Amino acid sequence: MRQLLTLFSAVILLALSLPAQAGPVQDILQEHSALITKSSRKTIQPAIDALANSGLPQAQAVLQTWQSKDMWLRTGDGLFFRGETLPSGTIRLSDFDSGEAVGEADKKTLKQLKPNSGVRALIGTALVQFQLSDPDPARRAEALTAIERAPDASTLLPLRASIESETDPDLKARKIRTERLQTISFDPDDDARITALAAIKGDLGVDVRAALNPILTSKRKVFAGEPPAGLNIARALKPGSDDLTETEAYDLIVAAGLGVPRLTPEALRAAVLNYIAGGVGGGVQVAELRTQGARERAYAGLGKAGTVTAAITDAEAAQAVRAHRFVDLYDEPSQAVTDAASATLDAIETKVALNQALDLGLDALSLASIYFLAAIGLAITFGVMGVINMAHGEFIMMGAYTGYVVQQIIPNYTVSIIVAIPMAFAVTFAAGVAMERLVIRWLYSRPLETLLATFGISIALQQIAKNIFGTQARPLTSPGWLDGAWVLNDVVAISYIRIAIFVLAMIFLGFFLFLMKKTRLGLETRAVTQNPRMAASMGINPDRVNMLTFGLGSGIAGIAGVAIGLYAKVTSELGADYIVQSFMTVVVGGVGNIWGTLLGATMIGSLQKGIEWLNPSNTLAAQTYMIIFIIIFIQFRPRGIIALKGRAAGD
């Protein structure tokens, strides 16, 4: 019995000491054991490719284990395992093929494989083909994003292979687009590249142009005679033009080793000084060598004597330039590919130009809506009532500060804006009524006195605002649903705040038209505007109508202040920034006409954006040019775009 137990124990110990059973993954690892152990970025690629292209289901786990530095080599038999450090300090080993634990080992008997960052990057690239087909869409999207950020030739085939099995429509569209860009840059087949180039003609993405530009890069080359056949020449160059001066052309000849370098003044002086003997250098006395001409004669003498190499003359350099051919040579050898890339880039640039025009138009429309909002209240007080209210901008400022105060009380930005709009109207309506009752009513038909009085009031209101809120800009925060922009493509985008301001401007246009055409106040306002005495004889109180009309114009300015405050910082000078544009809008459009105000705002907004586009570095110059243009415009149409007709026009 004792002998039997001894034999049984020996068998168990022998079994534990045997190496793990070899499998297909272990075979690959053993085949490339030396490369894996060395772990050099320059030599490791065959081992990574062998695993990635093996088609084995365990390959992904092996690569991930290797990348995370959890692969261990058992020094006794040279086998590779996945290792897990236990609390006891020993390493639990798992077989790569079966995935099962094969025992524990002391760290002294193992070697941990720690690939450097370069090797880990190569492993990460190899893992892309597995991640692109991962069941988790988030993992697939993450892998695709990694490819988009760092395009590489090694990811083209895995990306292409994953497209057909992709089930997510958005991811599939991204994969197709990325595959086309990868094909353009890395596919060795010219026909495939040309097909991909044709497929992206309408794509305005910046990455598309980034993929096209390297194809169309060129280098300037010089040839002694006609260029060899088969070269992909971008264009032939004529020396003496702006693109290539004769001096630059000869420098190219010298750089290509086809000509003698020009002798610089420094080199000329040094050469002559090296061959002075007996006070003479090249047949010229040393005392005469202070001038450039004397040095050139001395060098020519040394050249005739064979002492130095004769310097090239300007005539010889010109002759050499005429004897050579200069071209811009594409780096891309295939002419078919560069032709397709050039056609695609031209189509994209045309579409970009059209979209830039659309983007400029949207910016102009957005600015016009801001000017219209700022001017619509002035269209009532100035256009309808004839009152020059220089404090109109301060009503805009009061409305913006009202919105700011409301937001300090109501932290919910959506609710606060909803509350701020009627609150701003109420505050500025009351301020307008007070101003009309206390000042304006005594100055009707006295425009100069009205201008001076309201200008003084505007300065006083600005100072009051500074005393209350300080000189620091105050934020009027927009609701979260107004964050961001409506993006049509990589060229055209407009912020949601500007869209909201445009919608608000259209709402007030409709409100003003309804008020003036469909309400009793509008009827009375128009009657008082045209003939106050006749209106009074019909039972209309002109003082009451003037008060309500001025208050209405001021209230609308307050609402405009809330809208503008979402777009610009709220300061005491906020209104002053818009008062000039507001007056120009009303005057250019036609005094007393709401449609004219709308056209005036559109014209001024478009003109300002157009001038800023032509001169983007100087917005102040753009405003100056705009004012000059408007002054000229008023000379030809003093009554504005839409002039009043009838008795009101005569007034």
Give the pLDDT score at 591.
67
Give the pLDDT score at 401.
93
CA dihedral defined by 344, 346, 350, 352, rounded to 10 degrees?
70
pTM above 0.75, yes or no: no
In sequence order, the 6+-apart residues with CB closer than 8 A to the CB of 462 are: 394, 397, 572, 573, 575, 576
What CA–CA distance (Å, rounded) separates 79 from 33? 9
Report pLDDT digits (tens) over 27-74: 888 888 888 888 888 888 888 888 888 878 888 888 888 888 889 999
What CA–CA distance (Å, rounded) separates 476 from 269? 72
What CA–CA distance (Å, rounded) separates 627 from 648? 27
Residue 563 contacts residue 574 (beta carbons within 8 Å): no
Map residue 216 onto helix, strand or coil. helix
The residue behind tokens 């630059």 is 248
What CA–CA distance (Å, rounded) separates 586 from 387? 12
Kindly report the three-state secondary structure assignment for every residue of 412-434: CHHHHHHHHHHHHHHHHHHHHHH
Residue 611 contacts residue 622 (beta carbons within 8 Å): yes
Q: Which residue stretches of the chain have pLDDT < 70?
A: 1-22, 242, 278-279, 281-282, 287, 306, 310, 383-384, 591-592, 616-621, 643-651
The closest alpha carbon to 210, from 247, 236, 190, 184, belongs to 184
Report pLDDT digits (tens) over 545-574: 888 888 888 898 899 889 888 878 888 888
The answer to whether the Cα torsion of 162, 167, 171, 177 is positive or negative is: positive
With b for 16 or more beta-carbon neighbours within 10 A and e for fewer, the 269-300 pattern comes to bebbeebeeeeebbebeeeebeeeebbbbbbb
Quick one: tokens of 329?
């040579």
CA 299 remoteness from chain centre: 58
Quick one: tokens of 333?
């050898």
What CA–CA distance (Å, rounded) separates 302 from 10? 98
